[in-house]
Chains A and B, each alone.
Chain A
Amino acid sequence: PQHPQQLQQLQQLHVPPALAEEPGGYGRLRSCETPMQERRPEGLQVSSGLQDLSLRDRGGRRRDFHDLGVNTRQAMVHVQESKTGISGKIIKLTTNHFRLTSRPQWALYQYHVGYSPEMEARRLRSALLFQHEETIGKTHAFDGSILFLPKKLENKVTELFSRTRNGEDVKITVTLTNELPPTSPTCLQFYNIIFRRLLKMLNLQQIGRNYYNPSDPVSIPNHRLMVWLGFTSSILQYEENIMLCADVSHKVLRGETVLDTMHSLHSQVGEERFRDTCAKELIGLIVLTKYNNRTYRIDDIDWDNNPKSTFRKSDGTEMSFVEYYKKQYNIEISDWMQPVLISQMKRKRGNIQGSVALIPELCSLTGLTDKMRNDFNMMKDLAIHTRLPPEQRQRELGRLLNYIQKDDNVQKELRNWGLSFDYKSVSFTGRVVQGEKIFQSGTMFDYNPQFADWTKETRGVPLIRSVPMDSWLLIYTRRNYDVANTLLQSLFKVTPSMGIRMNRPNMIEVDDRTEAYLRVLQQRVTPDINIVFCILSSSRKDKYDAIKKYLCTDCPIPSQCVLARTLSKPQTIMTVATKIALQMNCKMGGELWSVEIPLKQVMIVGIDCYHDTISGKQSIAGFVASLNQTVTRWFSRCVVQSRGQELVDGIKACLQTALRNWSKWNKCLPSRIFVYRDGVGDGQLNTLVNYEVPQFLDCLKSIGTDYSPRLTVIVVKKRVGARFFAEIGGGLKNPPPGTVVDTVVTRPEWYDFFIVSQTVKNGCVAPTHYNVVYDTSQLKPDHVQRLTYKLCHMYYNWSGIIRVPAPCQYAHKLAFLVGQSIHREPNLMLSDRLYYL
């Protein structure tokens, strides 16, 4: 029935998207790409994939975005009773969570609906069923075979009789299969769908996963940007209540088409580098189209085709893009020479084409490119609008809830399902744990805990371990001769007080070409060199990459690259030189400061991943493990894996070598191991728990039968929706560093907690979520929390507290360097130094 416009095999090219987008369209492409609830705002439909209790988010491929059903706490006896800590000062907090309330004895009733004779078309099935609205009621959700109702039908089995338009009588059997309590995973997913339906009813526009208000945009003409204010929402079972976690979200949109961008790139780089630059700048970006409400990721640019190219339609006829868009949407494509963008369809089902073609002129860009992110001025201008301080953020949220509360249709929908929300956010108490003391060369430092920074306090103090710079190279171009000298003088001024012995370097002048740098490195770098210092005149990535690649793989020597611009300001040169001296010292294996680590014989591991979004071919896992008692030295390795390979096999090998190294340094094996695992995506927790953790255990077992250390695996998540605000003096402020939250907004099935460890200058501080998925340490939650917080003090590129434990940040740095510049595993000679800082 109904013009099944499947996209069929194309002759030369890909299909233009959204043939199936027409209302009433039944295109398979769309029906499998987007969840049903979108297509039917009225009688919500649930995809047939519901049998396994999963509804998809729009555009999301993951089945279980909230990691529901991963119940790790039950296996950890010591936190069965309580997973909350007690140490620290009590602090009053509010959050962005809102309680969901439903009428007493609320339940969702799930029915199976059968047809006799069998009816194929889902639309027909719905139409036949809804002829009986007086029986089943106006409020329903139906996906063609499973029906959800807020009420219980009189009988367990209800038989209904309908007649099709061609006079055929059909018996419909509605059988109650399930009574779902409010906390069941299906119900939770259901709440989420309903809430999203509400946002749609409020006329918010869906872009990607979230909803945005298009009517009141902020425009930033300087950069041709537009910012839409919107909301993220998720409804989950938290410690005691089901709550809505809502947050303000900003969508950056660009007031230009992809074609506009291509033109301006052309004008910037010229013909020669045009295609490469387009690929670099555009691939991976998300675009919106002029004619439908979908987002696509640009996966490739097809330069061999243009809007005049043809594709084969479902009826076998050929049509050009120009004709197609004219006929379908009355859109005239003006530039017939532009290339065609290719977007891969992530989900495949049936005979759906793997990719769609998009016309640059009809696509608008969303989000920021890496280049824009690096544009300091642009980010500053953006931050004014996107970094909302606590009070303003809560005010914006309040506005959303106000809309919800005031909209009659929304209220009606909620009432029909028997649901409502608390419009006041949840308040509770957290704890601010004691600040950590910083030790450096036998001296203990106190610092202002509000600032979470000890740069001033430790300036000019000898380092724990300084590595002398007896023999080193300083490479620069002719233009930067003066800069090089200024730097050198400054280094000579700042290093003595740190206890760094430094000789004059070998000063080498080079031409400003990549080959020139490489030639010098090949000729002049010898194994006795401590470090190579390169002053670069531009942030051209290829030069940097080439230098790093050579000095990390072929010829393993620590290196330091600095932009000439960074060194050119006389007023900041001393600060810069100090930072560079510290950084170089770490790269050569030095140690800066430490915090007190009360646990003995402990090895701390950090893991993070980098996914190459541009070529999409490689993933890199950075693996970092502590080597000494004070946790000031680290063993670093990484795993480079191509697509399809399992990351975990490589990690297992890393853990083995890390243990070997630890025992070399300490003359025994660690009795406790803590793994901080970052880079776990939403919905991947299950895999981690069921696959990765057993591999860790396997690895430990393989060391020896009598070796059974205590293992703790903690999943670290930086991107969380939760925000906390301290109620101070009648206003809302960011909570101070060291704020720990382990009640109310945590999940009952997990041993999890939040820590706010860093400070922010503007906007809201984002707490980091820690989920202890495996723990045989027998330590109290207090101690795990404290250890985690301590580790946030140990990142040597920042003399302050950071968002995640240092090993995670080191692992991130390493994976990033390898993924961005080196593309293969660096030489293991460097593995005992932080050469990637």
Chain B
Amino acid sequence: MDKSLQEEFTQIVKFEPPLYKQRYQFVKDLVEKYKPKKVADLGCADCSLLWMLKFCSCIEVLAGLDICANVMKEKMHTLSPLPVDYLQPSERSLTVTLHHGSVAHKDPCMLGFDLVTCIELIEHLEESELEKFPEVVFGFMAPSIVVISTPNSEFNSLLPRVMLYRHPDHKFEWSQAQFQSWALETARCYDYSVEFTGVGHPPTGMEKVGFCTQIGVFIRKNPRTGESVQSEKPMEAVYKTVFKAVYPSLKDEKYLQNAVINEVIFTAQIIKHRLMSKREEYDDDPERKSKFQPSMDCFSDYLGKLVVEKNMEPFVSGNEVYIPLTTIFSFPKVNRLCGTFEKLCKLIAGKVTLSSDGSAVVFNIEHED
């Protein structure tokens, strides 16, 4: 649904920030509070909410569902990883998927979510769809939390340009009582608790009309009964996947290995560079000495002071520089990436030139200028 239009006729009652933003912020706050890992947005439209949610670091799976594939496709590329996501893969993993389908149908891809959001969705549903909706969302998907927002018809009197409904596609708009009775009945039926709130405060003196957008937050009373519930259900896929993006993550061995190799070689280069400049200090160039000496200190500040034990010292032998892996491992960045020394050795095996006993990175300095 197009938010721009809805906001257009809130001339008299003006919301700041705009109402749709307040709804999104509400969801974002909820995510911050409950830290769900898997979030689905039903009726995701142009993916604006999903796009906002992809920056929430707790989320590892994001899914969107909409009845209109075109509106999703319009902006779905904003959900793709950015070049920088490839350059600096993040710790968390993230998969974003968009499905084309109806909330009146069950599809196994919607199972296992922690949070399901239905922002300004239900008022677009035909009666038959609305009937099936609770069973699909609460009965089948059965996430820990469901958020449902919908217009509050009592507020419409403050929106003079609204004739019948706020949007021609709306099939109904409910009063607070109507929404609450539907929600309470649904919650009772599927064993959820529900709390009511909203966004878009009424003007002073008009408080009893309630929020412009009414929101119900449903929380499942009993923890999930386990995987068994899911396997009983029909497993036929009815949604069509229109988009899928897997974000590069360090949880993926391929990216981790790459990151470790990069960091190891880069760190080793730094140590080598430092070792070589130290050797050059014996040179007779006064300019060099004075320029380089203090800079080495800033440099180690940046990388974290090193605890260099005697057996960890890099050394030169013939045309080769040896930089012990233990030294490299003591650098915070490498350390953080690998966790254990064994993991470091495993990840770089065969990818970085090592000494014959595998304890040090070796560089040949013969051909260097």
Contacts and interface: CB of A to CB of B under 8 A. Distances in A.
B4 A266 contact: no
A255 B83 contact: no
**Which among B51, B56, B82 has the greatest number of chain A C-beta atoms within 10 A?**
B82
A581 B325 CA distance: 50
A2 B167 CA distance: 15
Given A23-B47, A200-B77, A512-B287, A270 B298 contact: yes
Interface stretch (B177-185, B201-209, B258-266): B258-266
Contact of B18 (A3, A39, A200): A3
Contacts of A167: 163-164, 168
Interface string B1-43: 0111111110000001110010000000000000000000000
A36 B196 CA distance: 41
B110 to A, nearest CB: 22
B332 to A, nearest CB: 13
B197 interface: no
Contacts of A271: 294, 298
A231 B56 CA distance: 33
A165 B266 contact: no
Interface stretch (B67-75, B114-122, B187-195): B67-75
Given A24-B46, A330-B56, A565-B369, A290 B265 contact: no
B292 to A, nearest CB: 8
Interface stretch (B84-92, B128-136, B144-152, B233-241): B84-92
A26 B21 CA distance: 14
Contacts of A330: 55-57
Given A1-B8, A203-B80, A214-B81, A24 B87 contact: no
B124 interface: no
Contacts of B299: 264, 266-267
Given A166-B9, A267-B298, A331-B55, A293 B82 contact: yes
Nearest to A206: B83
Contacts of A267: 295-296, 298-299, 302
Nearest to B168: A165
A205 interface: yes
A22 B48 contact: yes
Interface stretch (A72-80, A220-228, A783-791): A220-228
Interface residues of B, number: 62
A359 to B, nearest CB: 13
A255 B265 contact: no
B269 A23 contact: no
Given A163-B168, A164-B5, A219-B261, A41 B83 contact: no
Contacts of B220: none
Given A1-B4, A270-B295, A41 B77 contact: yes
A76 B83 CA distance: 48
B46 A364 contact: no
Contact of B84 (A42, A164, A290): A290
Nearest to B31: A330
A217 B86 contact: yes
Nearest to A251: B83
B343 interface: no
Nearest to B294: A270
B359 interface: no
A315 B16 contact: yes
A165 B2 contact: yes
Nearest to A212: B83
Contact of A293 (B83, B168, B298): B83
Contacts of B265: 221-222
B162 interface: yes
Contacts of A164: 5, 168
A264 to B, nearest CB: 8
B340 interface: no
Nearest to B290: A270
Nearest to B297: A267
Interface residues of A, number: 64
B272 to A, nearest CB: 11
Contacts of A121: 4
B105 interface: no
B166 interface: yes
Contacts of B51: 22-23
Contacts, number: 148
Interface in A243-298: 253-255, 257, 263-264, 266-271, 288-293
B291 interface: yes
B366 interface: no
B368 interface: yes
Contacts of A3: 17-18, 21
A329 B51 CA distance: 10
Contacts of B86: 205, 214-215, 217
A501 interface: no
Interface string B241-257: 00000000000000000
A127 interface: yes
Contact of B295 (A23, A268, A288): A268
Contacts of A207: 83
A123 B1 CA distance: 12
Nearest to B263: A221
Contacts of B258: 219
A222 B262 CA distance: 7
Contacts of B295: 266-270
Contacts of A364: 83-84, 87-88
Given A166-B5, A266-B298, A512-B287, A23 B368 contact: no
A166 B162 contact: yes
Nearest to B242: A409
B305 interface: no
B5 A165 contact: yes
Contacts of B21: 3
A140 to B, nearest CB: 11
A484 B269 CA distance: 34
A762 interface: no
Contact of A289 (B8, B84, B168): B84
Nearest to B165: A165
Contacts of A293: 82-83
A224 B262 contact: yes
Nearest to B262: A221
Contacts of B70: 42-43
B171 interface: no
Contacts of B81: 214
A382 B80 CA distance: 28
A431 B74 CA distance: 49
Contact of A288 (B47, B82, B166, B169): B82
Contacts of B57: 330
Contact of A124 (B5, B17, B76, B168): B5
Contact of B75 (A23, A123, A165): A23
Centre residue among A124, A165, A266 by max chain B CB count within 10 A: A165
A165 B16 CA distance: 22
A24 B77 contact: no
Interface in A1-45: 1-3, 22-24, 26, 39-43
Contacts of B166: 165
Given A1-B4, A200-B77, A205-B83, A23 B261 contact: no
Contacts of A22: 48, 51-52
B187 to A, nearest CB: 31
A135 interface: no
A405 interface: no
B221 interface: no
Nearest to A222: B265
Top 5 nearest A-B pairs (CB, nearest first) are: A267-B299, A1-B4, A2-B4, A221-B265, A330-B55
Given A165-B2, A228-B83, A270-B295, 20 more contacts: A3-B18, A23-B51, A24-B48, A41-B74, A42-B73, A121-B4, A165-B6, A166-B9, A221-B265, A254-B87, A263-B302, A270-B294, A270-B298, A271-B294, A291-B82, A292-B82, A330-B55, A377-B369, A479-B284, A565-B369
8 contacts: A123-B4, A205-B86, A207-B83, A214-B86, A224-B262, A255-B262, A267-B296, A269-B291
